[in-house]
Amino acid sequence: MGSYHITVLKGDGIGPDVVTEAMGVLECVGKKYGHDFVFNEKLAGGCAYDAYGEPLPEETLEACKNGDAILLGAVGGPKWDHLPANLRPEAGALLKLRSSLGLYANLRPAIIHKALSDASPIKPEIIGDSLDILVVRELTGGIYFGERGYREGKHGEEAYDVEAYSEFEIKRIAVQAFEAAMKRNKHVTSIDKANVLESSKLWRRTVTEVAKDYPEVELDHMYVDNAAMQLVRNPKHFDVIVTSNIFGDIISDEASQITGSIGMLPSASLADGAFGMYEPIHGSAPDIAGQDKANPIATILSVAMMFRYSFQKPDEAAAIERAVDAVLAEGWRTPDIAGPGDVPIGTKKMGQLIREHI
Ligand code: IPM
Ligand code: MG
């Protein structure tokens, strides 16, 4: 039994479509397992800019700080692309939420569901019928938040962005990765560019130091260029990947594409303690917004992560994941994951089927 306050940021584009289904799943799990959810809906992203002239109003940030967890749909769209960086939904809302709430650990699982194994663009003899990689991306440091600006250079104006990491920041993300690995296949691959970058040398040294506390976990280090290659050459090498903000941004997109179905992938952004923000990996897909075409599974699986990481309710999380697998095994598909012979179903129907299975 528990009562949870969830700040809901539906955001832009298909955000409202998919979050509505995920809220239905929360309520359904609540009924079955005896939990109560109080939803506090606020505006963030382009919709907030339209209403208040800023992508992350103070009221939204306050609500986020006061809740137990955040459920986010997606932010952004071409309508707001012309705005200066600090007013754009991506930097003005998403990056500000991450930094203001201390959400430094970004967990991005890239999983191939058995029923969808032929969706991967990688040859079957390489991928087999399953893949399960967890990317642990540092989310509040590095070049995303470093010193930046313009200055007069030798050849006129130049722009710069600084990649800086403290031992403290590296250590705490490494601990998250090793802890996750202990519950999985006990293998961490740390990705850096230590053959060139000072920040990566400190990264490698610090991760190696943290590894001493986890003698059961095998640690290997990989340069980011090689890792990009190994991910498509031999994806089964990887269990847990830990890496910096910018490398994690790139590598997690690559890992998600290997699964072939970005509409399926959830994510969690965690602070110290139990607080977290949960969102699908995909974007706001404005071209199909409000048309009952979006795949709600990534957001629904994000709710499963919420149960696991913020509420410490693994049974509830597993119930959601089982329901998703069952619906896929029965052959139900939204347009994004439909094969040639499939008759696709809509967002709402997919949500309803998953709830029925729970
Ligand atoms: C992501 C996105 C964001 C990032 C953008 C929208 C700022 O690409 O969450 O991976 O770069 O972190
Ligand atoms: Mg990205």
List pLDDT tens digits, range 240-282. Answer: 999 999 999 999 999 999 998 889 999 999 999 999 999 999 9
Nearest protein CA to atom 4 of ligand 1, as residue? 249
From the CB of 249, is ligand 1 less than 6 Å away?
yes
Amino acid in position 162? V
Q: Atom 11, ligand 1: which residue's CA is nearest?
A: 249
What is the CA(58)–ligand 2 centre distance, in A?
A: 25
pLDDT of residue 45: 98
Q: Does the C-beta of 254 come closer than 6 Å to ligand 1? A: no
Q: How many CB atoms lie within 10 A of CB 63?
A: 19
pLDDT in tens, 142-192: 999 999 999 999 999 999 999 999 999 999 999 999 999 999 999 999 999
Closest CA to 232 of 249, 252, 254, 250: 254
Residue in 281, 261, 243 with CA at minimum distance from that of residue 111: 261
Rounded distance from Cα 43 to ligand 1 centre (Å): 19
What is the pLDDT at residue 79? 96
Q: Is the pLDDT of residue 98 over 80?
A: yes
Average pLDDT, the chain: 96
From edge to edge, which strands make up the β-sheet containing 105-112?
A: 35-41, 2-11, 69-74, 276-280, 266-270, 105-112, 131-138, 240-243, 187-192, 218-223
Going by pLDDT thresholds of 50, 70 and 90, the confidence category of residue 117 is confident
Q: Is 339 exposed, middle or buried (0-12, 13-18, 19+ CB in 10 A)?
A: exposed
103 lines ligand 1 (CB under 6 A): no
What's the predicted TM-score (pTM) here?
0.96
* Enclosing H/E stretch for 132: strand 131-138
CB burial string 237-276: b at 16+ within 10 A, e below: ebbbbbbbbbbbbebbeebbbbbbbbbbbbbbbbbeeebb
> What is the number of the ligand closest to the CA of 137?
1
pLDDT tops 80 at residue 129: no
Q: Is the CB of 292 under 6 A from ligand 1?
A: no
C-alpha 249 – ligand 2 centre gap (Å): 4
User: How many Cβ atoms from other residues are within 10 Å of residue 286's Cβ?
Assistant: 17
| Nearest to 277, CA basis, from 63, 13, 130 | 63
Ligand 1 pocket check for 251: Cβ under 6 Å:
no
Q: Ligand 2 centre from 282 Cα, in Å? A: 9
The whole-angstrom separation of Cα 14 and Cα 43 is 14
Atom of ligand 1 nearest to the CA of 245: 12
Beta-carbon count within 10 A of 326 CB: 16
Q: What percent of the chain clears pLDDT 90, i.e. is strictly above it?
A: 93
Give the model's pLDDT for residue 1.
60
Rounded to whole angstroms, how far apart are CA atoms 269 and 309? 10
